[in-house]
Amino acid sequence: MVPGEQKSYGVKSPVLNELAKRYSAHSFALAEELWKAGALEEKIIAIKIIERMGKKEPAKVLPLFRKFAKQIDNWAVCDGLGMQFLRGIVKTHPKEIFELAFKYKDSKDPWQRRLSLVMVEWYTRDKAMHADIRKLVMALDRDEEYYVKKAVAWIKRNLGS
């Protein structure tokens, strides 16, 4: 399980994946309702729905992402939001994703600081993006929060640093 005090039902990932697949046609409205409900699994399903449907409605992804990013309370939701949620737009919206990442790196919220790194993880595969990613890493390299430190180490490994 994920450490923290969030409500959780204990539903396994394969079941969550199946539910997201089954209900993804309801996409953004359902994702928002699930997120509001607040349980870990509901947030994970919301993330997976947008992962599946975001490419079809890219203009809706970032506004919803900004809204959800204010309500992260554990690493699983943070990482799902930063990696899966954005999957449909990583190729088409790198500028906007990096702008948000640079904004979140300065947040007082440690989950948003972690998110700033997680949301650019996909771009570690593209050497042209490494300079900007390194700027994010340098800004957070001395962060004291455990999960931010873990993200810094993860991104450094991916960059070969």
Location of structure tokens 């399903």: 45
Residue 3 falls inside a structural domain: no
Angle (deg, nearest 10), helices 110-118 and 146-159: 10
Predicted local confidence at residue 81, as pLDDT: 97
Predicted local confidence at residue 100, as pLDDT: 98
Label residue 148 by pLDDT band (50, 70, 90).
Answer: very high
Residue 4 falls inside a structural domain: no
Residue 8 falls inside a structural domain: no
- The yes-or-no verdict on residue 10 having pLDDT over 90 is no
- CATH number where 102 lies: 1.25.10.90
Q: Is 136 exposed, middle or buried (0-12, 13-18, 19+ CB in 10 A)?
A: buried
How far is residue 46's CA from residue 31's CA, in Å, rounded to a whole number? Answer: 4
How far is residue 1's CA from residue 12's CA, in Å, rounded to a whole number? Answer: 10
Predicted local confidence at residue 4, as pLDDT: 57
Residue 144 falls inside a structural domain: yes
Question: Which range of residues forms the domain containing residue 44?
Answer: 13-159
Distances (CA, A) of 137 to 13, 49, 124: 30, 29, 12
Residue 46 falls inside a structural domain: yes
Residue 133 falls inside a structural domain: yes
